[in-house]
Structures are given as structure tokens and as C-alpha cells.
Amino acid sequence: MSKSAILSSSIVKKYWMALTGLFLCLFLVGHLLGNLQLIFITGEEGKVAFNEYAYFMTHNPAVKVLSYLTYFSILFHAIDGLMLTIQNKKARPTNYAMNKPNTNSSTPARYMAILGTVVLVFICTHMVNFWAKMHFTNMPLHTITKSIEAPVGQDPTTGQPVVKELEVDYVYTTNGQYQESKVSLAEMNYSEEKYEIKKGTMLYDKTSGLKVAEGLKDLHSQVMTFFGQDIKGLPSNSNALLYVILYVLSMAVLGFHLWHGFSSAFQTLGLRSKKYVGAISMAGKLFAVIIPAAFAIIPILIYLA
């Protein structure tokens, strides 16, 4: 088959749609498992778990390769779907005289192009709000603040040590330890930074100039504030409720897209035999309901927490 035939063949396009679609279904499962940490692991433990997961997903070489494959699959799936829609329209420029779409196909099947477009818009905005900020901005590091009592001097009249409450900031680092980064005493207007942050995450000792550790970006807090929680040191999001609603609606659209797309991919690849057609159809419907619903519940619970 020539190159031009491969590019123009609707059969080949459908195969690519099926393969990239099923790969993206696997991606959805993996992404969901990572995101569920946001609601199943709480407090500092949850913050550590999610930020370590985010670091792993952006630094592990194998995951990076899979990530680029995912980006390619999303673009190819979208472009291939658009080309198929246009090709089908050209093949049948006018509707049949006796056209009864309600009896010939399901509602999701008839609106796959529109549903897919909405999902693509959601993916783009989702990546701008989280992926791009994680990769290209100086996102605040994962930091905790502890109050400790420590001697800050001596009483000249009694000779006894003067004890004050100090606030100490610790940065959580990639080696799984908390590195003391700043000490402050508000009532004495005292503040001392132990390290200088370079390249967004690298901690350098101010005295020696040597690199001490690498801090983790605090994506966990960014997600929490985006969906309505108040985090100390971060601006609150007045549009959180709107974003939660739009996220949930997007997941509903994704569900409709998967309702037809999942089982259709198996049919295109010739894997939907009579023996397993019922099981594949049921698995597709369960996937189309459970996965988007699980994604949707995450921002709702964060907002209501």
C-alpha cells in the first residue's frame, strides 16, 4: 500500500483511531490512580505522596517516553477523528431520504466528533492549569512550618536564657527528608534564610554556595487551591465552584465519548467476536461510567472538604 493510500484510507484511519483510543483508555486508568491520592491520603502524608508522584511522573525516563507517546496519541486521535468526519461527509454529502439515526445508532455514536472536540478543549485547559505550571513556572516548593521554642539570648538581670517561639520552614526534598530552610521570629522582626533557591527547585547553601538538595514542587497545594481549599501562603480561588462544575461536566462528556468509543475500538480491530460481544459491551459501559465518575468526584470532595 502506498503512502498516499495509507493516509487516505478510511479503514486505516479507523484502525489508528481504535489503537490510540485504547491506549488513551489505559492512560486514563493510570492518571486516575495517581489522582485518587488527593482524596484517599490526607494531611501531610497525602501532600508528600502526591508531590512525590508528580515528581516521579515528570522525571522518570520511562514515564517521560510514555508521556510523549500520550501527547502524540491525543493529537493523532483528534486529527484522525476530524479527518474521518470530513471524509465521511464528503462520501455522503446529502442525507438519505429515509434517514432514521435514532434507530441506526446511539446518541454518543452520532455526536462522537463534537464530544471529542469538547474533551480536547478540556485536555488543553487542564494542561495549561496544571501540567504547564508544573513544568514551566517557579511553583512554590513543598514546605511545612513548625513552631519551636528556642533560646534567643540571655536576660541581663537574671542571667537566665530567654526562650522565644520560633517559626521554622522546612522544604521537603527529593531524598525524602525535610531540609530546614528559614527561621523567623515575628515579634523581633527576625528572619534568616538558610538556603538560596536556584533553577526553581535547587537548594544552595548561602554560606558555602554548594548545592544541598532538590526540593519538590508543591503541585498538591496548587490543585487544592484551584478547587476551593484555602492554603496558607497561596491566593484563594474565587472561581473554584465554577471550575468544579466545568470539570464535572467535562467528565460527563468524556463518559458519553467512551460509551461508544470503547466497544467500537474492539469492533474496529476485529476483537469483538460473537462469543465476547456482550462482555466487551458491558465492560465498555462500566468503563465509560466508572472512570469519568471517579475523576469527577475528586474536585467535588476537595471543594466540600
Tell me the pLDDT tens digit for each residue of 268-300. Answer: 888 777 777 888 889 999 999 999 999 999 999
Give the pLDDT confidence score for residue 155 in this predicted structure.
76
Name the pLDDT band for 105 (thresholds 50, 70, 90). Answer: low
Q: List CB contacts of 258: < 8 A, sequence separation 6 or more.
A: 25, 284, 287, 288, 291, 292
Residues 119 and 244 occupy one common structural domain: yes
Within a domain: 233:
no
Within a domain: 201:
yes
Within a domain: 263:
yes
Q: What does the chain come to in residues? A: 305
Give the pLDDT confidence score for residue 275 in this predicted structure.
77
74-88, 96-110, 162-176: least confident range: 96-110
pLDDT tens-place string over residues 58-84: 999 999 899 999 999 998 888 887 787
Residues 151 and 256 occupy one common structural domain: no
Residues 38 and 12 occupy one common structural domain: yes
Residues 50 and 198 occupy one common structural domain: no
Residues 150 and 27 occupy one common structural domain: no
Within a domain: 225:
no
Domain range enclosing 267: 3-93+102-136+238-304
Does pLDDT of 89 surpass 90?
Answer: no
94-103, 108-117, 161-170: least confident range: 94-103
State how beta strands 178-185 and 143-154 pair.
unpaired
Residues 262 and 118 occupy one common structural domain: yes
**What amino acid occupies position 33?**
L
Final residue of a domain: which of 185, 216, 247? 216
Biggest CA-to-CA distance, the chain: 103
Within a domain: 153:
yes
Does pLDDT of 201 surpass 70?
Answer: yes
Residues 242 and 117 occupy one common structural domain: yes
Does pLDDT of 2 surpass 70?
Answer: no
Final residue of a domain: which of 216, 249, 281? 216
Percent of the chain with pLDDT over 90: 52
Within a domain: 292:
yes
Count of domains observed in the chain: 2
Give the pLDDT confidence score for residue 1 in this predicted structure.
45
Within a domain: 230:
no
- Region 125-154 average pLDDT: 88
Give the pLDDT confidence score for residue 99 in this predicted structure.
54
Stated pTM of the model:
0.84
Residues 126 and 269 occupy one common structural domain: yes
Final residue of a domain: which of 216, 246, 272? 216
Residues 159 and 126 occupy one common structural domain: no
Query: What angle (nearest 5°) sits at the alpha carbon of residue 241, between those of residues 235 and 247?
Result: 110
Q: List CB contacts of 141: < 8 A, sequence separation 6 or more.
A: 171, 172, 197, 201, 215, 216, 217, 218
Residues 126 and 165 occupy one common structural domain: no
Residues 19 and 79 occupy one common structural domain: yes
Residues 49 and 198 occupy one common structural domain: no
Within a domain: 231:
no
Give the pLDDT confidence score for residue 6 in this predicted structure.
45
Among 163, 168, 137, smallest CA distance to 151 is for 163
